[in-house]
Amino acid sequence: MMKLIKVIIAMAILAVGVFVVGGALAPEKQTSDNDIAQQLDRFNPLISAEPVYLLTNSQYGEKQTHGVIYYQDVYKEDGSSYKLSFFAGSELKEGAFLKLDAKGKYVKSWEEVTQADLPGKVSEKFNLN
């Protein structure tokens, strides 16, 4: 019985390892952030979802076959920032303010917002005040 449990645990570890290594080595990735890392952030109960903001700039976009991947700094409501990549089905309007519904590296959705919708500390980062 103990041997069977060890075999099952070893197979589970092997399956997870193949999943992680396969995701890291996949030739066609939707974003630069490892897709596995995005999924881990998505389901990690220790990471909370929060809105993050950015100002679109085409210099940070990389055209793909079916859209554009943007690699930019995003700003939390407290003004802190981190790098994030996200996919848009087409090129975004230059100089638009976006609010992304993010959870770590995982981006659930995004929407265009007005300058008035930006939190004060985010506006400061964009030198809008």
Angle of helix 35-43 relative to helix 2-25, nearest 10 degrees, comes to 120
Domain total of the chain: 1
pLDDT tens, residue by residue, 26-85: 444 445 556 777 888 888 888 889 999 999 888 888 888 888 888 889 999 998 998 888
Q: Residues 6 or more apart from 60 whose CB is under 8 A from it?
A: 70, 71, 72
Judged against a pLDDT cut of 80, whether residue 4 lies above it is answered with yes
**Which band of pLDDT confidence, cut at 50, 70 and 90, is reported for residue 23?**
very low
**Domain region containing 11:** 2-125
CATH of the domain at 58: 2.40.50.480
- Note the residue count of the chain: 129
The reported pTM is 0.69
